[in-house]
Chain A
Amino acid sequence: EDQVTQSPEALRLQEGESSSLNCSYTVSGLRGLFWYRQDPGKGPEFLFTLYSAGEEKEKERLKATLTKKESFLHITAPKPEDSATYLCAVLEAGNNRKLIWGLGTSLAVNP
């Protein structure tokens, strides 16, 4: 069964303490992998798309990387405003544009 698994479920960091979130996936063919950020009471906010193994994308303190079976979201020197739930989703090769979503990692950054 196609699925997306995110770990850890929750992560608490001190301000400035770098870490990584993991998204592992099992699909028969990957068209794209997506990272989103969701703040409480809001819709998910698009961050990155990765299409092929070895690809990397960066935005401020965030860097996303992709291998054939997993993706990492690296957070460098996080600030309290980085606190949010980070969601990973996968688009399988084919005509269906439905994303397969992970359950997210809830990140809290303490000042």
Chain B
Amino acid sequence: GAGVSQSPSNKVTEKGKDVELRCDPISGHTALYWYRQSLGQGLEFLIYFQGNSAPDKSGLPSDRFSAERTGGSVSTLTIQRTQQEDSAVYLCASSEKYEQYFGPGTRLTVT
């Protein structure tokens, strides 16, 4: 069946602009997770959703970052007033129980 999909696959933006990253989870998966991975670094947890609510948003780096999930399906991660340190790969994962299944990621470059 279809896996987790993310769009766009690559995004280049100018410093100070806002960006939206999209995640389509596996159908039926109730939990959805956002991570950030900088070059050569580990996975940095950002936020997770159970249904449409976010029990844990402790990993969001600043108030420039926000995320929402609607209809228990698609999620959008928004970064406002992007900074160069926001450049990274943003990964989305979904799960039905405990195992998380990842999408291919969105590579964000802030120039």
Binding site for B on A (CB under 8 A): 31-32, 34, 36, 42-46, 49, 87, 91, 95-99, 101-104
Contact = CB atoms under 8 A, between A and B. Distances in A.
B65 interface: no
Contacts of A96: 55-56
Given A96-B56, A97-B31, A98-B45, A42 B98 contact: no
Given A43-B105, A98-B48, A98-B56, A31 B42 contact: no
Given A43-B104, A43-B105, A44-B102, A97 B48 contact: yes
B99 interface: yes
B100 interface: yes
A5 to B, nearest CB: 11
B93 interface: yes
**Dominant secondary structure at the B interface:** strand
Interface residues of B, number: 22
A101 B45 CA distance: 9
5 closest A-B pairs by beta carbon, nearest first, are A43-B102, A103-B42, A101-B43, A44-B102, A32-B98
Given A31-B98, A46-B99, A91-B98, A99 B45 contact: yes
Contact of B101 (A46, A49, A95, A99): A46
B37 to A, nearest CB: 9
A102 B42 contact: yes
Contacts of B104: 42-43
A46 B95 CA distance: 11
Given A42-B104, A43-B105, A102-B42, A49 B99 contact: yes
Contacts of B42: 87, 101-104
Contact of A45 (B41, B95, B102): B102
Nearest to B43: A101
